[in-house]
Structure 1
Amino acid sequence: MSAFLDALGADGPSADRAGKMDLYGRFVGSWDLDVRQFSEDGTERRRAGEWHFGWALEGRAIQDVWIVPPRGEARHGDAAASVNSYGTTLRVYDPDIDAWRIQWTDPVTRNFLQMIGRAQGRDIVQLGTRPDGQLARWSFADITADSFLWRGEVSADARASWRVITEFTARRRAS
């Protein structure tokens, strides 16, 4: 496993992507999460989570793993329950479109999503289409060196309105 992780990981950004890698590179490290999930009827479920970001693929990508609930906590029943998540995102900067190509994979919930991510003012916004046809918007806001707010939203009416389905309040773990 060590040879695989050594080949996947990188010590920092690739020189040929200088500056562009900072958009997501600032998240490299480990984060504790306060996760709020909202069902269609407005019911809220709140739990803890963890999120880890790292340099990957010779520094031309950022890969992360998010886990809800965190490792070591009871999974509350069936590991495939839709409220549990253990997945990874691969974010690759594409100079041809001056944006990030993003692939989210969660084998627990069997969710797979491709998105395009860009800076939008001080925030980051990722857009894609879910398998059910709804538009998905994931955003990072209120970004500081030690915290940020991540929000997952869906739109069933071509962006006329958005419904928040998940919010993560993230706090950087001490080194």
Structure 2
Amino acid sequence: MTISPFLTALGSEGPPADRAKDMNLYGWLIGSWEMDSVHYLHDGTIQKCNGECHFGWVLEGRAIQDVWIRPKRPAPSTMYGTTLRIFDPGIEGWHIIWSDPLNRDHSRQIGRAEGKDIVQLGNDSRGLKTRWRFTEITANSFRWIGEERSFESDPWQITYEHLARRTNLKLE
């Protein structure tokens, strides 16, 4: 398979030297992951399935982009979205832009380290407050927790959990 000029222009081998240190917060994610996913529905039911996610350097290494797919291909997708993560030295944080066209869902957040975790705070397309966290991070695994609430005074409600394990797949 020939890589298109668009994908060649988008993809990068890594961050530029002047940004390498700043890119460490998410740089460890580069590669492919398989995951066990749990979706907590508002009616109290729980849906479980598998999935996959792939992370790569983009925009001359100045950003990290990923693709999240649930369930794992080749099954028909219930979620197929992408995140663009861009470090902003002016805020010492990351602009996070998520879009899942399949579900007409999008979110904007700011991501930062919080202890050993990565915490992203923002709002989604429904106007809800969102908190997405990478926790229990190792070189080959992580737990991702998605939470939402309507108002600052409301408690966070977990909507998704993904337990991810690194695979040997390479992004092409």
Aligned match of 1:58 in 52, 57, 60?
60
Match of 1:120 in 2: 114
Partner AA of 1:23 in structure 2: L
Match of 1:33 in 2: 35
Contact 1:135–1:159, Cα closer than 8 Å, also in 2: no
Match of 1:145 in 2: 139
- List structure 1 segments (4+ residues) > 6 angstroms apart after TM superposition: none
- Describe how 1:60-75 pairs up with structure 2 within 5 A: 60-73=62-75, 75=76
Normalised by the size of structure 1, how large is the TM-score?
0.91
Aligned match of 2:104 in 105, 110, 117?
110
Match of 1:85 in 2: 79
Q: Which ranges in structure 1 are unaligned for 5 or more consecutive residues?
A: none
Greater shift in the superposed pair: 20-29 or 128-137: 128-137
Q: Alpha-carbon deviation of 1:105?
A: 0.8
Q: Which ranges in structure 2 are unaligned for 5 or more consecutive residues?
A: none
Describe the shift of the 1:149–1:7 C-alpha distance in structure 2 as closer, same or farther (beyond 3 A).
same
Number of aligned pairs?
Answer: 167
Which SS does the other structure have where 2:146 is aligned?
A: strand
Q: Alpha-carbon deviation of 1:129?
A: 1.2
Q: CA RMSD in A?
A: 1.2
Deviations 1:65-104 (CA, angstroms, capped at 9, x unpaired): 000011112x2xxx6xxxx111100000011111000110
Partner AA of 2:14 in structure 1: G
Contact 1:126–1:138, Cα closer than 8 Å, also in 2: yes
Matched, 1:96 2:96: no
Deviations 1:31-59 (CA, angstroms, capped at 9, x unpaired): 00100000112211000100000000011
Match of 1:23 in 2: 25
Which SS does the other structure have where 2:102 is aligned?
A: coil
Partner AA of 1:57 in structure 2: L
Match of 1:132 in 2: 126
Deviations 1:119-164 (CA, angstroms, capped at 9, x unpaired): 0000000011123222000000000000000010001231541000
Normalised by the size of structure 2, how large is the TM-score?
0.93
CA distance in 2, matches of 1:155, 1:107: 22
Matched, 1:3 2:5: yes
CA distance in 2, matches of 1:47, 1:157: 30
Match of 1:172 in 2: 166
